[in-house]
Chains A and B, each alone.
Chain A
Amino acid sequence: MTQRKSPTAILHEGPRALSSDQVREIEESDLAGVLHVDIDDVIEYVHKDLKSLPGFTTLYRRYLKQRWDVYDLDFTQDKADWDEKMTEDERQSFIAVASGFHHGERQVEIELPVFMIGASEEEKLHIAAQIEDEARHTVFFDRFYREVVGLQGDDIMDILDASFPWVSETFVGPFGLLAYQADEVRRNPYDERARVRYGTNYFLWIEGVLALSVMKVTLSYARWRGFLPAYYTGFTATCRDESRHVQGGMRYLQQAVRKDPSMIGEIHNTLRTILSLSGVNSRQIYYEPLGWTEDEVRMLFFQQLRRKLNDVGIDLTPDLEELLRRVQPVLAGG
């Protein structure tokens, strides 16, 4: 963690090719080695295979190699950084961003099992692995909030309750929708249209856009400042896990559209709902102490959305382009 690249440098870099050494470092680093991996490289790595999406068995084999033990992390230095080095503004901004993840990881863990029912046998392996990943990420945040932030509680739900006041009211948009979509899939697990709508929200929007963008904010801050090494390590490893989830999810959506081109309408309808909600905030989150502005974060969202749609070959309708144009901020000098 010696590099001090600007947190927002990725906004201006655009797509770039990773060297074979960089790919090897991302794919093969053990947990201790992940501390030295650049988060921008991991986010770029998510897109590396989107055009030639790997199969579910390949993703499952990667999971077996990349799986990490959340209890191997030592948060002692993070606690010292949190208490002694970070300013109150930095702590408040960090926790406002991280709390969305604390709850988001829990939500994507519990809403995924129903999607497995209607999946192919190979995809079931991948989804089973993903559920275990998400459970591990939930424990990661539970440990971070207990051992670094200092929240107290008897069980995981107590800690979730304690961090919930930092979660924005607009969180219910994508995550409430996911809960209801999961129920729709539960009632009709082989309804491919319901599964595509669910997959669009879960894999494309929540994991592919929201998660990767907001991960980038706290991780680039930690790397930039040289703080929170266990958080950086665990969350960068989480990002590597998410790359498999996004690739698997995009493969599912791509196959669904190839099999039945009318499925594109389900993707568009889902994006229409999501985008109609995404230009609204209920509270001010000050990203500046972490090196970002709100407009830069939203710009990152839409860059991530565009790249995934382009890579997977999903075009937007004119009304969706217009909706996107209206909710997308324009960065000065961006």
Chain B
Amino acid sequence: MAEPTFFGKEWAGVVRDALTAGPSEQARRDKLPMYWDFFDRIRSAYPASWALGCRNLPAAPGEGPAYLFVQWAGGVVTSCQVVGPDEPLDATYVLGMDYPDWKALHDGYDAQRTVMYRKIMLEDGDLLEFFKGIYFFVECLAVIAAVPARYPAPVQGLRAR
């Protein structure tokens, strides 16, 4: 089966399934139960939505920066779709990251330093509220990045900044 295209409609559907399934058994084994208890507690009551932007997304002419919109409610993803540059965007937290950093995350760079090194940045939303759920967000970011996908352009030579 062909892999879905990164930031395509089909990809968003696979991301939704992956977020619903949550972190892998391997990821869960690598961290303490108290950490996952905290993750599950945040997830069960998370009332917010994310718009995760991809800047410089290689795309056909006429297309441009896009967002992955993820709505959480009652511990599940109730909406997960790609929102184009010309469509209205209404999310609790809007974040943005360059395409090469999305690709690096997919290729194995860790989600923790993706946040800490400001590869992904909060563009809109209450910062202190967002960070109350940061462990949940980081683990979900890793899940999203791990979804098999066809990335349209190779990237080389990434370093921390």
- Which A residues contact B (CB, under 8 angstroms)? 107, 157, 160, 164, 167, 169-173, 175-177, 179-181, 183-184, 197, 269-270, 272-273, 276-277, 280-284
- In the bound assembly, the distance between CA atoms of A175 and B129 in angstroms comes to 15
Beta-carbon contact of A277 and B32 below 8 Å: no
* Distance between B18 CB and nearest chain A CB, rounded to angstroms: 19
* Distance between B73 CB and nearest chain A CB, rounded to angstroms: 21
- In the bound assembly, the distance between CA atoms of A172 and B138 in angstroms comes to 9
**Could you say which residues of chain A place their CB within 8 Å of the CB of B116?**
107, 171-172, 175-176, 179
**Could you say which residues of chain A place their CB within 8 Å of the CB of B32?**
281-284
Beta-carbon contact of B113 and A183 below 8 Å: no
- In the bound assembly, the distance between CA atoms of A171 and B159 in angstroms comes to 20
- Which B residues contact A (CB, under 8 angstroms)? 31-32, 34-35, 38, 110, 112-113, 115-118, 121-122, 127-132, 134-135, 138, 159-160
**Could you say which residues of chain B place their CB within 8 Å of the CB of A175?**
116
- In the bound assembly, the distance between CA atoms of A194 and B159 in angstroms comes to 29
**Could you say which residues of chain A place their CB within 8 Å of the CB of B112?**
167, 169, 171-172, 176
**Could you say which residues of chain B place their CB within 8 Å of the CB of A280?**
34-35, 38, 135
Main secondary structure of the interface of A (DSSP, over half): helix
* Distance between B115 CB and nearest chain A CB, rounded to angstroms: 4
Beta-carbon contact of A173 and B118 below 8 Å: no
Beta-carbon contact of A281 and B34 below 8 Å: yes
**Could you say which residues of chain B place their CB within 8 Å of the CB of A197?**
127-128
* Distance between A253 CB and nearest chain B CB, rounded to angstroms: 16
- In the bound assembly, the distance between CA atoms of A72 and B97 in angstroms comes to 42
Beta-carbon contact of B135 and A183 below 8 Å: no
